[in-house]
A and B are shown apart, each in its own frame.
Chain A
Amino acid sequence: MVIEVRNVDKNFDTFKALNNLNLKIERGELVALLGPSGSGKTTLLRIISGLEFASAGSIFFDGQDAGTRHVGERRVGFVFQHYALFRHMTVFENVAFGLRVVPRARRLSNTDIKKRVLSLLSLVQLDRLSERYPTQLSGGQRQRVALARALAIEPLVLLLDEPFGALDAKVRKELRRWLRRLHDEMGLTSIFVTHDQEEALELADRVVVMNKGKIEQIGTPEEVYDQPATPFVYEFLGNVNRIDCTINDGKVHLWGVQVIAETQDGGKCPSGTVPGFAYIRPHDIDFVEKGTEHAVPAIVRHVAAAGPTARIEIQIEGIPNFIEADLSRKRYLELGYKIGQNVFVSARAARVFPASAAE
């Protein structure tokens, strides 16, 4: 189903949770709403589901206005952050709930309900636990019950609020992969809310980065990671070093020397010498020989070498903040840096914003 959000506002008393939001989600997409808490991502999800209503603007499902439709009529499967399972019902009855509350005229027979529930339970690999109660299940199992329950009503859209938030890392990874497969196999349109950028980048077809009730950027994971549109997206996605610099007629001076950097919308950058700030990803910091062009001296302050990449914190003279640099394990072993050693670094790539672009 194609979901369109047009000019949606949402106010809670004086707080503007959503501010003139526009978003279009295509059929079959798996979209992540990514943002810090308070960014309005859950509010947006709830408005799409019909659990909450917009203060202004409208929601379209396949071109039809769904804004006034009751949540029960929208055919959305909603998976709650804390699962919201019915504690007094068995796993089987939880999943059957949506089938049992259908008006008698359209309700399936008991044997059909049983068949459908059992097939859903085998889909989520819980067929052997159908007589258990939710309190007797682990977090990952509860999550799968919540999913099976939402899928029982054959929804056109699957909405998930922080689906993996309460799970430990290993289960989370497993469920993520499994959700991706389920989404593809069932041909659903799915939206999930998360504050975990890794989750959003790994799982989603497109990522919607939100902040303060507005959309900062919409794009594929590669797009939002490689070409962040705003300083906020830069800081929210992945590790990044933020360094104050000066921009001189579009040329960037970092650490007193001119460096290679691309300024935001080159032409729009104010002329003359203006203060600005640059973002450099840790893997774009290069360790070079003394005397190389654009290189500046630095001191190694900390080394964390466990794992596939070694993280080295360096300090450049006159700059109080440490700067993080990532090295591949192989290169780290070649260089063999120790704490306190003097090195020379340069930035392979950086993105620069004039100070006026900061919030």
Chain B
Amino acid sequence: MGRRILSSSIRTFSWRTPSVLPGFGITMGFTLVYLGLLVLLPLAALILKAAGFTWAEFWDVVTAPRALAAYRLSFGAAFIAAAINIVFGVLVAWVLTRYQFPFKRFLDGLVDLPFALPTAVAGIALAALFAPNGWIGSILLPMGIKVAYTPLGVVVALTFIGLPFVVRTVQPVLQDLDKEVEEAAASLGASRAATFRRVILPVILPAAVTGFALAFARAVGEYGSVIFIAGNLPMKSEIVPLLIVIKLEQFDYRGAAAIGTAMLFVAFVLLLIINLLQRWSRNRMGGM
């Protein structure tokens, strides 16, 4: 159905359509200028800077072992963190929409804290907590789990900053979920587990994937909170944004731009895949 509506709107498209809400020209113009100045121009400058290299030089910088290790850590940790958040974010959203309990508003507000907190503050706090002599670190260390100054620490920091994304995308969908649909499933003999798996999960999945994509994108670019807890050992716990900063500090602008471009490319491809996934799951909802 959605497709049919889309094609008919294309057929009737024209630059001037009479409408109760005028202003297509001015809003579209503003949108283009805005996106151009804020997003495309800096990205173009980045690629232009990297273009100072020959192709072979570019390839050498981008595929240096230290850079490869950093990509692995950055994308891997971001993926794990987003995966953790999709599970616990849905859980938090569930609790916040389904149940009434004291201090609910307070808890709800707490979810946004990772948005508002300066990332460096979060990083320092997490590092202090998970350091071998910190509150949690000192408990985990005897168990042989080292969090601070390891890739695990990176995952912890990225999980922290990514939490609000999943919660805030899933929450409205859960709120809109019709209670009758669950009752219908129950009256047809479905258990609680079957109702969740067959009826609730498919409905919240597209929103959860959106939250996942946002958390992932945010985590890939995260710098402030990670560098305090990661330990930043080259080849081990060094993230890509840090590698770029190091290159800049060594006045290797072209090298920094090359790695930035590579990262941009990978992030773009990954987000594209996630978007396609989202479209696929939304199409399964029957053109809604």
Contact = CB atoms under 8 A, between A and B. Distances in A.
A136 interface: yes
Contacts of A73: 189
A101 B189 contact: yes
Given A97-B190, A101-B194, A87 B183 contact: no
Interface string A63-104: 000000011110011101110111110100000011011100
A82 B190 contact: no
Contacts of B285: 87-88, 133
Contact of B189 (A49, A72, A134): A72
A97 B178 contact: no
A133 B286 contact: yes
Given A87-B285, A101-B191, A78 B198 contact: no
Given A78-B184, A88-B203, A135 B1 contact: yes
Interface in A50-69: 50-51
Contacts, number: 84
Nearest to B189: A72
A153 interface: yes
Contacts of A311: none
Nearest to B286: A133
Nearest to B185: A97
B183 A78 contact: yes
Contact of A84 (B184, B190, B287): B184
A149 interface: yes
12 contacts: A71-B186, A80-B184, A85-B184, A86-B184, A97-B188, A101-B190, A102-B189, A135-B288, A136-B1, A150-B187, A153-B188, A153-B189
B189 A98 contact: yes
Nearest to A101: B190
A151 to B, nearest CB: 11
B287 to A, nearest CB: 6
B180 interface: yes
Nearest to B195: A101
A101 B287 contact: no
A135 B189 CA distance: 24
Interface residues of B, number: 23
Given A51-B183, A97-B185, A101-B188, A136 B287 contact: yes
Q: 10 tightest CB-CB pairs across the interface, nearest first?
A: A133-B286, A98-B188, A84-B180, A101-B190, A84-B184, A72-B189, A78-B187, A88-B202, A88-B285, A80-B180
B186 A84 contact: no
Contacts of B180: 80-82, 84
B186 A72 contact: yes
B181 interface: yes
Given A72-B190, A97-B198, A101-B194, A82 B185 contact: no
A88 B183 contact: no
Given A97-B198, A135-B287, A84 B178 contact: yes
B98 interface: no
Given A80-B180, A85-B181, A133-B286, 15 more contacts: A82-B178, A82-B180, A87-B203, A87-B288, A88-B284, A97-B185, A97-B188, A97-B190, A98-B188, A98-B190, A133-B287, A135-B1, A135-B286, A136-B1, A150-B188
Interface of B: 1, 178, 180-181, 183-191, 194, 198-199, 202-203, 284-288
A138 to B, nearest CB: 12
Contacts of A82: 178, 180
Contacts of A87: 203, 285-286, 288
A248 B215 CA distance: 82
A40 to B, nearest CB: 18
Nearest to A91: B286
Given A78-B184, A101-B188, A136 B286 contact: yes
A102 B189 CA distance: 7
A73 B187 CA distance: 8
Contacts of B188: 72, 97-98, 101, 149-150, 152-153
A51 B288 CA distance: 29
A86 B186 CA distance: 13
A133 B202 CA distance: 14
A70 B186 CA distance: 9
A101 B286 contact: no
A13 to B, nearest CB: 13
Contacts of B1: 135-136
A124 B134 CA distance: 67
A189 to B, nearest CB: 16
A97 B187 CA distance: 11
A101 B184 contact: no
A27 to B, nearest CB: 21
Contact of A51 (B187, B189, B203, B287): B187
Nearest to B178: A84
A68 to B, nearest CB: 15
Contacts of B284: 88
Q: Which of A70, A77, A82, A88 has the most CB of B within 10 A?
A: A88
B286 A84 contact: no
Contacts of A133: 285-287
Nearest to B182: A84
B187 A86 contact: no
Contact of B286 (A76, A88, A100): A88
A144 B189 CA distance: 20
Contacts of A70: 186
